Homo-oligomer: A and B are copies of this chain.
Amino acid sequence: MIKAAILGGSGYTGLEIMRLLAGHPEAEVIEFSSRKYTGQPVSSIFPSMAGHEYDSLVFKNPADLADTEADVVFLCLPHGAAMDIVPHFIERKKRVIDLSADYRLRDVAVYEEWYKEHSTKNLLADAVYGLPELHRDRIKDALIVANPGCYPTSAILGLSPIVEGGLVDPNSVIIDAKSGISGAGREASLKTAFCENYGGFEAYNVGLHRHTPEIEQELTLLAGKDVKVTFNSHLLPVSRGILSSIYADLTEPRTTAQIIETYKEFYAGEPFIRIMPEGTYPNISNLRCSNFCDIGLWVDEARGRLIVISAIDNLMKGASGAAVQNMNIQFELEETLGLTGLPAQLG
């Protein structure tokens, strides 16, 4: 049985990892931390977990996890906090799966431009961008798994087959992304208040979202040349789900059927990617609480443009589900373990 610790367990991604490992046959959570809730049982914060054996555990002070007996440490900390603590766990031979942005950007200058000064730059080379569909082989032995951002996951999975194949001009790419509000985390804030969002819809961080360089990094790797995309994010008045509508100019004419075939080949054997039949498109409902990424495709032949609709659950394939998938890879388990539950279509 793999033993897991969660640092920053009191946010939504921490809760989701607990939910997943509670149903995982080969892994279990042995402790979790929360500065804010130190000493409190999990069900006093997350009543959904009442009655579960994890409820006999209490939130610990992060410092008390320094000598954890866990085999793997999930870091659900704010951007900028993980990088200070990662060396400690690497020295102790823990597997580290970091859900923050701290090790996602290979180029430290880019990180520091969008975030802050990096305290452990030297470790960046040891981190692997944790998107199994692109980097499965390297994830297995990575010292640090840099779990991808939620928006980038939907965008990169939606674009990889055609950017790698050169089927579109990558610099024509426009990503219009919409996310449920859990993507903003579990903090008291007027921005995420119920009444400020119910019945509403807005664009935010227009042109300035920190997920842009992450998308560009991976697409640049796939394209083999510098890629700049337009990325725009919106706040959807639901709890979970990301849907990205992506537009790109085709380099030469192709039919929708041909493009669908390209995607099916690229993702052959991938357990969590579902390419939808022609004429149908994803709905975030249809993958709620699951690790699926659903992709729908349409070629606008008259305009020479491809539309890709790519959807995930931001807390699952966009965060905690991906983290568990990465853990499975690192420990050489069946990759879908603990992730086989069907979507809860009704929210």
Among A81-89, A124-132, A155-163, A298-306, the stretch in contact with B: A298-306
Beyond the given pairs A19-B344, A199-B241, A206-B296, 14 more chain A to chain B contacts, judged by CB atoms under 8 angstroms and listed by A's residue number, are A19-B345, A47-B345, A48-B344, A50-B294, A176-B176, A176-B247, A193-B193, A199-B240, A199-B285, A200-B284, A203-B282, A206-B281, A207-B307, A237-B238
Q: A230-B307, A303-B228 are in contact. Are A194 and B198 (CB under 8 A)?
A: yes
A287 at the interface (CB under 8 A from B): yes
Q: Which of B195, B247, B281 contacts A202 (CB 8 A)?
A: B281
Contacts of A238 in B (CB 8 A): 198-201, 237
- A63-71, A143-151, A183-191: which one contacts chain B? A183-191
Residues of B within 8 A of A280 (CB): 47
Partner of A192, one of B182, B195, B200, B202: B195
Within 50-104 of A, Cβ neighbours of B (below 8 Å) are at 50-52
In the complex, per-residue mask of A213-252: 1 if CB is within 8 Å of any chain B CB, else 0: 0000000000000001010101011111101010100000
Q: How far is the CA of A256 from the CA of B302 in the complex (A)?
A: 31
Report if A243-B199 is in contact (Cβ < 8 Å); known contacts: A23-B340, A274-B50: no
The answer to whether B46 touches A345 (Cβ under 8 A) is yes
Q: Does A5 contact B (CB under 8 A)?
A: no
- Known contacts A174-B174, A181-B194; A343 and B281 CB within 8 A of each other: no
Minimal beta-carbon separation of A208 from chain B (angstroms): 9
Q: Which of chain B's residues have a CB closer than 8 A to the CB of A232?
A: 245, 247, 307
Contact (Cβ within 8 A) B289 A202: no
Tell me whether B309 and A195 are in contact (CB under 8 A).
no
Of A50, A188, A241, the most chain B CB neighbours within 10 A belong to: A50
**Residues in B whose Cβ lies below 8 Å from that of A343:** 48
B309 touches A201 (CB 8 A): no
- Contact sample, A vs B, 13 pairs, CB 8 Å cutoff: A51-B274, A174-B247, A181-B195, A199-B199, A199-B284, A200-B347, A201-B283, A202-B284, A206-B307, A236-B236, A239-B346, A239-B347, A344-B344
A51-B201 contact, Cβ under 8 Å, with A230-B305, A315-B346: no
B234 near A245: Cβ-Cβ < 8 Å:
yes
* A193 / chain B contacts, CB cutoff of 8 Å: 186, 188-189, 192-194
Residue A298 contacts which of B197, B207, B241 (CB distance < 8 angstroms)? B207
- Asked whether A110 is an interface residue with its Cβ less than 8 Å from the other chain, the reply is no
Residue of B nearest to A197 (CB): B194
* Cβ-defined contact, A15 with B200, below 8 A: no
| A292: chain B residues within 8 A (beta carbon) | 51
